[in-house]
Amino acid sequence: NGGIYDGKRIISKAWIDRSTHSSLDNKGYSFGWNNIMTRLDGEDVVTPRFFAIGLYGQVLFCDPDHNLIFVTLGEKKGCEYHLLFDSICNMMNK
């Protein structure tokens, strides 16, 4: 919710914007978050979806356009759940 909880700002807007809106210059990575990158009309673009991967393979995936958060817990390293979550969001757009 853009750093707002219960009608009160608890995280600055500047930090939210900087950490969740990456660019191609930094390969979609900012402040520990990774934005999903894709190709659109033959060009690489950074989507508004972002995720973080924990030390033991936990994933926190956010899609602000659909107001969705996916979370996986566990110790399975190397799984790419963020790609599964991104595919689910893409299917929701159709």
Name the pTM for this structure.
0.65
Rounded percentage of the chain residues whose pLDDT exceeds 90: 9
The stretch 67-78 carries a mean pLDDT of 78
**pLDDT over 70 (residue 53):** yes
pLDDT for the residue numbered 25:
66
Q: CA torsion 16→47→24→32, rounded to 10°?
A: 40
Q: Which two tokens stand for residue 17?
A: 């914007």
59-63 and 43-53 as β-strands: parallel, antiparallel, unpaired? antiparallel
pLDDT for the residue numbered 22:
64
With a CB cutoff of 8 Å and minimum separation 6, the contacts of 70 are 59, 60, 61, 81, 85, 88
**pLDDT over 90 (residue 49):** no
The stretch 10-31 carries a mean pLDDT of 73
The stretch 25-53 carries a mean pLDDT of 75
The stretch 38-46 carries a mean pLDDT of 80
